[in-house]
Amino acid sequence: MADDLKYGYKGAEPTQSFGNNTGVFDPNDINNLIANNQWTTFGQLELIETKDITVMTANIDFTDIKENIYNVHFITANDVTSNTTGRHMVKQFSTDGGSTFVSSGYQYAQQYGTGAGSFGETKSTSASFLGYWTASISPLSNQTAQAYSYFYNLGDSTKYSFTTFQSSAWYSTGPNYQMIFGSAVYPSANVVNAIRLKSDSTSSFTGQFSLYGIRYS
């Protein structure tokens, strides 16, 4: 729409913002308002990036997590396989955009339970990763892991960064089913701007990994 008739108004145009769009909009207006984060769109679980890892990969890094936009992030992991026997997938944070990843000082507390009736707790105040995100899996038929994790405060330089998580997997020991749920903290007031998914030891993985942001949280 011509600038002299912006949003259908002559002269002073209405201020546009989420939840308060006023006027008549053509496609270019809408695209521009979306780009400026001023257009009301529902569906506030917003996909940031999906990594479909089909070749065994040791480090699956999300380095454009848009921590300046989202206070809460959400990651899903689906159909995860390992090329080494008995490996968990774990998470680490980076504060330098993914050049390096923090490998000490995490705290976590998590519960596990198996289909064979074994339940227990795993915890640490000096870990090199943010807890065991999945059960240990092996390169055997049907041994896959599925998981999700929420992240909080990653972009806030004044607060610690936190995560909660849950997973469901076919466990390498037994073998049988294993579930895990838990929480973890990176007790350092820093901006976290990249997330690494990797093994607790040497291994590589395939799977589908999606990072979302929960807007306006």
Partner 1 sequence: MGKLVQVATNTVSSPTASVTLTGIDSDDVYMVTIVGASPSSGSDEIRIRVTKDVAGTPTPQTTANYDWADKFLRASAAFINDYNTNQTSTRGTGNIDNALNGGNGIFYLYNFNNSSEYSFITIESVTYGFSEGRGYQGGTVYTVAEAHNGVYFFPSTGNIDSGTFTLYKVV
Q: Does 114 bind partner 1 (CB under 8 A)?
A: no
- Kindly give, in sequence order, each residue whose CB lies less than 8 Å from that of residue 59, ignoring residues fewer than 6 positions away: 196, 197, 198
Which amino acid, 110?
Answer: Q
Q: Which is nearer to partner 1, 7 or 181 (CB)?
A: 181
102, 156 in Cβ contact below 8 A?
no
* DSSP assignments along 123-179, one per residue: EEEEESSS-B-S--B-SSTT--EEEEEEEE-TT-TTS-EEEEEEEEEEETTTTEEEE
Per CB under 8 A, which region of 29-37, 54-62, 88-96, 178-186 contacts partner 1?
178-186
Q: Does 34 bind partner 1 (CB under 8 A)?
A: no
* Near partner 1 in 49-68, by CB under 8 A: none
Q: By C-alpha distance, which of 74, 182, 184 is closest to 135?
A: 182
Residue choice 39, 162, 176, 179 for contact with partner 1 (CB under 8 A):
162
Q: Does 189 bind partner 1 (CB under 8 A)?
A: yes
Q: Does 216 bind partner 1 (CB under 8 A)?
A: yes
The CB-of-138 to partner 1 minimum distance in angstroms stands at: 27
The CB-of-74 to partner 1 minimum distance in angstroms stands at: 9
Q: Two tokens at 164?
A: 């909660």
DSSP state of 30: H
Residues contributing to the site for partner 1 (CB under 8 A): 42-45, 71-72, 107-111, 121, 123-125, 150, 152-153, 156, 158-160, 162-164, 166, 181-185, 187, 189, 214-217
